[in-house]
Amino acid sequence: MALMITDECINCDVCEPECPNEAISQGEEVYQIDPAKCTECVGHYDEPQCVQVCPVDCIPKDPGHEENQEQLLAKYEQLTGNRIA
């Protein structure tokens, strides 16, 4: 499942550079996550890096974009061209 940024975001700028898929960008009011690029860091890290650095805990799973581990891994492989054995 992709992640999302809620309106509790304080625009601190720490999450965007941490995303290995460049899925995070500045929205109209708060940062936003592109669900087509978000793999919850599957393939890159053990845990989502944006969640790790967020000081206000405003990055939950997006219920509108449910994906299992296999789907997230397939998305990682498609985005990066890297295959995980």
pLDDT of residue 84: 80
pLDDT of residue 54: 98
Domain ranges of the chain: 16-80
* Distance of alpha carbon 39 from alpha carbon 19, whole angstroms: 10
Collect the ranges in the chain with pLDDT lower than 50.
Answer: none
* Distance of alpha carbon 31 from alpha carbon 48, whole angstroms: 16
Which helix (H) or strand (E) segment is 77 a member of? helix 69-80
pLDDT of residue 17: 98
Residue 62 near residue 35, CB atoms below 8 Å? yes
pLDDT of residue 56: 96
pLDDT of residue 1: 80
**Domain 16-80 = CATH 2.60.120.10:** no
pLDDT of residue 21: 97
- pTM given for the model: 0.91
Q: Long-range contacts for 75-83 (Cβ within 8 Å, ≥24 apart)? A: 75/39, 75/42, 76/21, 76/39, 76/42, 76/43, 76/44, 77/43, 79/21, 79/37, 79/39, 80/21, 80/43, 82/43
pLDDT of residue 85: 67
